[in-house]
Structure 1
Amino acid sequence: MALEAVNPPEIDEPLTYSHVVVATGTRMVFVAGQVAEDSDGNLVGRGDMVAQARQVFVNIGHALAAAGARPDQVARLTIFVADYKREHLAQIEQGRVALFGDHKPTDTLVGVASLSSPDYLLEVDAIAVVDDAERR
C-alpha cells in the first residue's frame, strides 16, 4: 500500500492536510462517523471541543485497528463540526495530530447546525487503503 501526498504548486499548500492523496492498495476500509463517546457509550467532554476531538480520533484509531488498518493508511477524512467557528480548527487539530502525527490525509471540514445529539460537537469519518500483505 502506498499513499502519495500531492500538493500542486498552483494551489497554496495547507499545513494540516494534503490537497490530493493517490492511494494504491488492495482493500479499502470505511470508518463510520465517530463521535466523542467512550466504550460504554458515555459522552466524553461535554461542551469541550478539545476533549471531544481527542476522543473522536481515539475512536477512529480503534476502528482502524479492528479492521487491520493503521492511521498512516488513511487517505480521506470528513469532519463535521456543529456551530463551526474558526477557532475550532486548532482545537480539532489536537486530537487529529495525536492520532496521525505528521500524516496528512485529505479532508473536508463541514460546518453543520447540529449533529445527531445536541451534545456532540464533532463527528469524523475516515477512508483507509490497505494492502492485504501489510495487514496487521
Structure 2
Amino acid sequence: MTLECINPQDLPTPDTYTQVVVAKGTKLIFVSGQEPEDIHGKLVGRDDIAVQARQVFANLGRALAAAGALPKHVAKITIYVVDYRRDDHLPIIEAARVALFGDHKPADVVVGVASLSPGYLIEVDAFAVIDGQD
C-alpha cells in the first residue's frame, strides 16, 4: 500500500494533517463513526471532550485492527465535534489524534455539529487503503 502525502507549495502546510493524500492499494476500508463508548456501549467521559477524544481515537484504532489495517493505512478521517470552537477544541483533538497516528498525517476535516447522541461530544470516521498482502 502506498500513501503519497502532498502539501502543494501554494497552500499552507498544516502541522497535523496533509492537504492531499493519494492512495494506491487493493483493499478499501471504511470505518463508521467511532463514538466515545466503552466495549459495553456506555458513554465514556460525559461532558469531557479530552476523555471522549481519547476514546474515539482508541476505538478507531481497534476498528482498523479488526479489518487488518494500521493507523498508517488511513488516508482520510472526518472529525465531528459538538459546538466546535477551534481554539478550545483543536489542541485537545490533536493530542488524541497523535496518540493513534503518531507522525502519520492523513487528510482530514473537522465538522462542527449541533449535536450527536445525548452527551456525546465527538465522533470520528475513517477511510483506509491497504494491499491484500499488508
Shorter-chain TM-score bucket reads: over 0.9
Deviations 1:38-88 (CA, angstroms, capped at 9, x unpaired): 001111111111110000000000000000000000000011100111210
Runs of 4+ in 1 over 3 A off after TM superposition: none
Q: Does 1:92 align with 2:116?
A: no
Report how far residue 114 of structure 1 moved.
0.4
Report how far residue 22 of structure 1 moved.
0.6
1:1-136 aligned at under 5 Å gives the runs 1-86=1-86, 87-115=88-116, 117-134=117-134
Distance across 1 between alignment mates of 2:28 and 2:71: 13
Unmatched 5+ stretches in structure 2: none
Report how far residue 133 of structure 1 moved.
1.0
TM-score with structure 1 setting the length: 0.96
Distance across 2 between alignment mates of 1:93 and 1:14: 12
Report how far residue 118 of structure 1 moved.
2.2
Q: CA RMSD in A?
A: 0.6
- What amino acid sits opposite 1:82 in the alignment? V
Give the % identical residues.
62
Unmatched 5+ stretches in structure 1: none
